[in-house]
A = this chain, B = another copy of it.
Amino acid sequence: MATMRPARRLTLTEDVYSSVQALIMDHAVAPGARINIDALARDLEVSPTPVREALARLEADGLVRKRPLAGYTAAPLLTREEFEELVEMRLILEPPAASRAAAVAAVPGVDRLRAEADLPDPRPAGEGYTGIAAFTAQDARFHHLLAELSGNRMLHEAVVRLRSHLHLFRLHFPPAHYGISADEHHRVVDAVAAGDPDAAAAAMRAHLTAARERHLPYFGRAS
């Protein structure tokens, strides 16, 4: 009963990777803020090497930027233009994903999807944070699961890689519209369950377009 350290998966690097990702999610590091490798290593109680390794992966993911000989910084927030590009990208990827998921139509997968969409409104009462985080996480799970059900691993990976929800989460927190979004999710699920590819793609397009309209006003200079 010597080495009984609690967490510490197989590699420290993996741990650090998750930790930093969480730090960005929780706004512990502001967008654009510098990330000090040594300080981070001290806080996490590891040596700088695994921190460096984790940051290299995060850079490939686009979550941090690296200026040579100047250090790492947290990725900046999405500009309005980039947000438009993100929506366009999701409109390219996710309707085909929904379409293929409907074509494959494996029953247990559809059940999991419906279960995700059926989750009760996570909004507690008037909480600002936890409710939003839970909703965002649920929304992310729904979209990721649907992409997985498409049966195309590369498509799934591409959707996950966009990190749409991470970006949106960092942007702002529209406290309403939860129910509306859930309704739109259900329409997608119904089309997938019915095995109707075209309807599934259309429902997803409608959802993404509507979500775009819901988020746009929060960008200051509205259209």
Contacts and interface: CB of A to CB of B under 8 A. Distances in A.
Contacts of A54: 56
Interface residues of A, number: 31
A79 B9 CA distance: 31
Contact of A49 (B49, B153, B155): B49
Q: From DSSP, what is the main secondary structure of chain A's interface residues?
A: helix
Interface of A: 9-11, 13-14, 49, 52-54, 56-57, 59-61, 68-69, 82, 85-86, 88-89, 92-93, 96, 152-155, 158, 161-162
Contact of A56 (B9, B57, B92, B93): B57
Nearest to A17: B56
A154 B81 CA distance: 11
28 contacts: A9-B68, A10-B68, A10-B69, A11-B68, A11-B69, A14-B68, A52-B53, A54-B56, A56-B56, A56-B57, A56-B60, A57-B57, A60-B60, A60-B61, A82-B153, A82-B154, A85-B152, A85-B153, A85-B154, A85-B155, A88-B155, A89-B152, A89-B154, A92-B92, A92-B155, A93-B93, A158-B161, A161-B161
